[in-house]
Amino acid sequence: MPTWVKVLLVMIVLPILLGGVVLFVAGRPLAFEVLQRRTAARFPEVRWIRTEELAGWQADTGQAQPVLLDARTEPEYGISHLRGALLIDPYRPSLRSLRGVPRDSAIVVYSSAGYRGARVASWLAKSGYTTVVNLAGGLFQWANEGRPIFQEVNRPTAMVHPYDQRWGYLVEGRYRAQAGEVEKRSAAP
C-alpha cells in the first residue's frame, strides 16, 4: 500500500470513523451538549437552567414558581407543553403574554431544543426582565427524561412535536408525535 494512502487513512478516514463511533455511543446527550454550547455562544448573555433544576423548583411548593414561556409555534404548543406555560411567538415576541407580570419575576423560557428559547430569553432581558433563564435541552430533553408534559390545561401526554424530521431525532421515538413540519424561520428549533 502506498504511503500516501496510509497517511490518508490515518489522517482522514480513521478520525471520521472514530467520530461516528463516539456519536453513536454518546448519541443524544452529546447532541444536546453540542447544541447548547453553540446556542450559548450565539447568545452569551442568556443564563441557563438544567431540566433537573427546573423539576426541583417545580416540586418545591414552598418556593415562588417561575412564569413558564413556551417559545415555539402554536402547532407545537398544541401537541404538548409544560403545565401552565404561556405561549410566546419565538419569531415576533410580544410582551402581551407577560401582561401584569413584574419585570423582576422569575421566568423560564423553553423551546424544542433551546435555540428559540435563547432568542426569546435574550429579547426579554433586553426588554428589562431581570430574572430570565432558558431551559437547557428544551422540551425535547425534558420529555426524553420522562418528565410531565401536557396538552390543553391538565391533560397529560407523552407526545412532543418534532419540529421537523431532522431535529425530531433529538426526541426519543416513543415521545415523537406524528405532526407536520414547522415553517422554518430560524436556524434551529
**What is the reported pLDDT for 73?**
94
CB 107 within 8 A of CB 85: no
**In whole angstroms, what is the distance from residue 69 CA to residue 108 CA?**
6
| 114 part of a folded domain | yes
**What is the reported pLDDT for 4?**
67
Domain holding 88: CATH number? 3.40.250.10
| 181 part of a folded domain | no
Q: Which of 90, 87, 92, 66 is nearest to 77 (CA)?
A: 87
| 69 part of a folded domain | yes
| 180 part of a folded domain | no
**What is the reported pLDDT for 179?**
84
| 146 part of a folded domain | yes
Residue reference for cell 425534558: 142
Q: Which residues pair with 131 in a beta bridge?
A: 106
Q: Which residues pair with 69 in a beta bridge?
A: 86, 109
| 124 part of a folded domain | yes
DSSP category for residue 110? E
| 64 part of a folded domain | yes
DSSP category for residue 136? T
| 36 part of a folded domain | yes
**In whole angstroms, what is the distance from residue 107 CA to residue 27 CA?**
30
| Domain count along the chain | 1
Q: Which of 121, 135, 131, 68 is nearest to 93 (CA)?
A: 121
**What is the reported pLDDT for 6?**
66
**In whole angstroms, what is the distance from residue 111 CA to residue 72 CA?**
5
In angstroms, what CA-CA distances link 69 with 41, 54, 120, 148?
22, 13, 9, 16
For the chain, list residues with pLDDT below 50: 18, 20-25
**In whole angstroms, what is the distance from residue 146 CA to residue 165 CA?**
21
pTM of the model: 0.83
Q: Which domain holds residue 86?
A: 25-175
Residues 6+ apart with CB under 8 A from 36: 48, 114, 136, 137
CB atoms within 10 A of CB 103: 14
**What is the reported pLDDT for 182?**
84
Q: What are phi and psi of 67, to 5 degrees?
A: -80, 130
Q: What are phi and psi of 135, to 5 degrees?
A: -75, 115
**What is the reported pLDDT for 21?**
45
